[in-house]
Chain A
Amino acid sequence: MFGKLLKNDLKAQWYSVAPIFLCIFVIAAVSEIFVLVSKNNVVSALGGLLVSLVLLFACFVIIIAVAMMFSKTVFGRAGYLTLTLPVKTRSLIWSKTLSGLIWTYTVYILFFASLFLCIHQVGENMGADFQDMADQIFTLLLGKSISTMISMLTYYLIWFAIIMFIIIQCLYLGITCSHVSPVSKLGVLGAVIVFFGAFALTVGLTGIVTEVLPFGMVICEETVTLTSNVVRTQTELGDYAYGFNFAGPLVMVIISVVLNFPITHLIRNKVNIK
């Protein structure tokens, strides 16, 4: 049944995110035409920059679209259908979280990919100085060998998915609380307060745990070292070592999973669809 929920949620959300993807596609196509037609390097570079900016904007819009879709399908009149399905409320929320995560993650990955392409394009078109700058950024972000690059990229991709996960859960908690007394009296402001409150609490807690449990990995040049103390190992290995804590992301995953309980509880026991 969860598969069917997810399929239908992805389908439902597609109708609200499709215009965003269409917009990205059109602007990317237009800027690519500019790049191909124009002999001017600056225009070509600006084309790439424009796509990145549009994607950056899409990153915000997609979050709003996912939040609105959650609000509509659970607390709007469509809630009469959603909440009378013979499925567990917990599964409903998980399905909406996962589908929201898939769409937001896709846009954010597209954004970062476009950013890399943009840096590359600027480097190619703007001369040696920019080429050097681009090379430095690539070196800084991606390490020096394929294996370290894959390790870093994997870490960032997972870390990023976790951040998206917690943002969506906090968002859903905010929206849910805004439909329950006494927060409902504050309307959208109530949702915003709960969202930022939950998110700040998560970040604070993650920070504390990261300090208490500093285990993770350190990437230096071409080696990846697993360590019980990231800061210490990083200091030992020198300036070109990059530390990645594991406890922080782990705590965020746990909090995200735990947040599902109050959301489910409130929807099941307190919310009354008008």
Chain B
Amino acid sequence: MAIITADGLTKAYGNHIVLNDMSFTLPEGEIIGLFGPNGCGKTTLMKILTGLIHDYKGNVTVNGSVPGELTKAVTAYLPEQTFVHDWMRNIDAVDYFNDFFKDFDKAKALEMLKRFGLSEKQKSKTMSKGMQEKLLLSLVMSREASLYILDEPMGGVDPATRSSILDFIMQNYAQKSTLLISTHLINDLESVFTHAIFIGNGKVLLNDSVEKITENGKSIEDVFKEVFSNVW
């Protein structure tokens, strides 16, 4: 069954078309890698899926519904940027999530904060970028969501921390749910993906299971280089 479907999806910023008549489905229960060069529309696609952008053409569904109030309740989104309000302490952010998301596990979030060495009383604006990313990850991964959408979850962390964050994500996402991860760090994440979608020039260039993509002995990164060397 498909968790995400797009049919004729088009999104433009002024005259610049980012997603051009894109149609695809993404299977449920997989760990999906969303790949593409900078500016190819990965973040735009994620924003559409999370209900942050509505002025697109075509049809999109998440878990069978058009992105909106219903889908937001079952989608956990980690944007590239820190989204916690400046005034919030870590405990305030946890309480905020607890107030609005029925699938949020407060005890698990507090446990994660402890594990990352983050104080409950510390204010978000006084934390380093790495600490803030850990806070956001704790919040997002404490939800029992049907779909996790993670936009460059390891973009701002050092290589040593990357593997521990990856382990953290893999241990904490709700089983049977779907993970959609966009990343440039294909090498670091290659082992966890079960499905991959490549986008470029506003089109879907490849959308298949990792098993099929790599059946001739190539890695995802090799395929990525191959696909995008022809496009760009």
| Assembly CA distance A73 to B87 (angstroms) | 11
Cross-interface CB contact of B82 among A1, A77, A272, cutoff 8 Å: A77
| Assembly CA distance A12 to B84 (angstroms) | 11
**A86 proximal to B (CB < 8 A):** yes
| Assembly CA distance A82 to B88 (angstroms) | 14
A268 contacts B79, C-beta separation under 8 Å: no
Known: A81-B85, A273-B52. A86 touches B100 (CB 8 A): yes
Query: Please, which residues of chain A bring their CB within 8 A of the CB of B79?
Result: 80
A114 CB to nearest chain B CB (Å): 28
B55 contacts A84, C-beta separation under 8 Å: no
B228 CB to nearest chain A CB (Å): 25
- Of B20-28, B69-77, B186-194, the segment with at least 4 beta carbons within 8 Å of chain A is B69-77
A81 contacts B84, C-beta separation under 8 Å: yes
| Assembly CA distance A88 to B73 (angstroms) | 11
| Assembly CA distance A4 to B83 (angstroms) | 19
| Assembly CA distance A81 to B84 (angstroms) | 7
Cross-interface CB contact of A83 among B51, B75, B82, cutoff 8 Å: B51
Residues of B in contact, count (CB < 8 Å): 28
| Assembly CA distance A73 to B75 (angstroms) | 20
B52 CB to nearest chain A CB (Å): 6
**A15 proximal to B (CB < 8 A):** yes
CB neighbors of B among A1-54 (8 A): 1, 4, 7-8, 11-12, 15-16
B94 CB to nearest chain A CB (Å): 13
Residues of A in contact, count (CB < 8 Å): 27
A263 CB to nearest chain B CB (Å): 15
| Assembly CA distance A1 to B92 (angstroms) | 17
| Assembly CA distance A221 to B52 (angstroms) | 58
| Assembly CA distance A80 to B82 (angstroms) | 9
The 8 A CB mask of A66-100 against B (1 = contact, 0 = none) is 00000011000111110111111000000000000
A80 contacts B52, C-beta separation under 8 Å: yes
B73 contacts A78, C-beta separation under 8 Å: no
Binding site for A on B (CB under 8 A): 13-14, 47, 50-55, 69-70, 72-73, 75, 77, 79, 81-87, 92, 96, 99-101
Further contacts, 5 of them, CB under 8 A, given A272-B13, A272-B52: A15-B86, A73-B85, A78-B85, A81-B83, A83-B51
A-B contacts, 13 of them at CB < 8 A, read A78-B85, A80-B52, A80-B79, A80-B83, A84-B50, A84-B72, A86-B69, A86-B70, A86-B72, A86-B73, A88-B69, A181-B14, A273-B47
